[in-house]
Amino acid sequence: MKKLAILQSSYIPWKGYFDLINMVDEFVFFDTAQYTKNDWRNRNVIKTKQGSKWLTIPCAQKSLEQSILETKITDPRWARKHWQTLSQNYSKSKFFGEYKAIFEVFYLGCDFLDLSTINFSLIKIANEILGIDTKLTWSHEYEILDGKTEKLISICEQAGADVYLSGPSAKHYFDMGLAEEKGIQVEWMDYSGYPEYRQLHEPFEHGVTILDLIFNEGPNATQYMKSFGYND
C-alpha cells in the first residue's frame, strides 16, 4: 500500500507539515497551485522576547492566477535579513550552535530567485536533520486535471498510490465519492494533541516554524512529533 500526500510548499513550515511528510511514501509539492499572497507559502512565525514575529520573503504577484512555481523574489537581501533575525532570537536556545552552520550556509549563500526552490531547499534540510527520507516530487511532474478533487486523485493514480493522506482543511470540498470510485482510500491528518517542548519565551505556541523545535530540542525534536511515535 503506497501512501501519498499533496500540499503546497511553505516557508520553513511547522512540525505538523513534517509529520505529514513523514507519514507518507511520497510527498508531492503542489506548486502548480495558485500563489496566495501573505500566506504560509512565503512566511512563517518565530518566537521572540516581544512575542511572535513573522518572517516574510518578499515576493511579486503579477496576477491572481500566478502559481507558486511562477512566484519570484523581489529583494535578494531577504535571506541575510532572515538569518540575522533567526540568530538574534535563537542564539541562546540549547541546540542553536549545533545547527547554526547548516542554516547559515544556506541563508548567507542563497541566490535562488524563485519561492518554490527556496521552500524545497529548506524543507529538504529540515528533513535530513529530522531523519525523514520520504520521496519528494513536484506536481508539475504529473498531468494536472481540472477540478479540486479530480486533480488530487489523478496525481494519486499516476503515482501508483493506494492511500491519500490529506490535511483536515480539505474536508469541506473533497469529493469522497470520487475517491471511492477510483479505489483511493482517504485518510485525514489530525494535528491535535501535540505535547509542549521547551521554548525560550512564554507563552507556548505550537504553530511556529520547525526551526523553533530544532533549535530548542535538537536530536530530541522527533520526540515531540506524531509521526515518530511520541508518548502522548
Q: What pLDDT tens digit does each residue of the chain (232 aa) get? A: 999 999 999 999 999 999 999 999 999 999 999 999 889 999 999 999 999 999 999 999 999 999 999 999 999 999 999 999 999 999 999 999 999 999 999 999 999 999 999 999 999 999 999 999 999 999 999 999 999 999 999 999 999 999 999 999 999 999 999 999 999 999 999 999 999 999 999 999 999 999 999 999 999 999 999 999 754 4
DSSP bridge pairs for 166 = 188
pLDDT at position 231, please? Answer: 45
pLDDT at position 131, please? Answer: 97
Cell of 17: 507539515
187 phi and psi, to 5 degrees?
-120, 150
pLDDT at position 230, please? Answer: 55
Q: Which of 75, 19, 90, 15 is nearest to 42 (CA)?
A: 75
pLDDT at position 229, please? Answer: 75
What is the rounded distance in angstroms from the CA atom of residue 59 to the CA atom of residue 124? 21
pLDDT at position 24, please? Answer: 98
Please return the burial class of 114, using the count of CB atoms within 10 Å of its CB with bins 0-12, 13-18 and 19+. middle
- Is residue 16 within 8 A of residue 143, CB to CB? The reply is no
Q: Which of 11, 210, 16, 208 is nearest to 128 (CA)?
A: 210
pLDDT at position 38, please? Answer: 86
Q: Measured between alpha carbons, how far is residue 158 from residues 66, 86, 120, 145, 202 in Å? A: 25, 40, 22, 12, 46
What is the rounded distance in angstroms from the CA atom of residue 184 to the CA atom of residue 3? 10
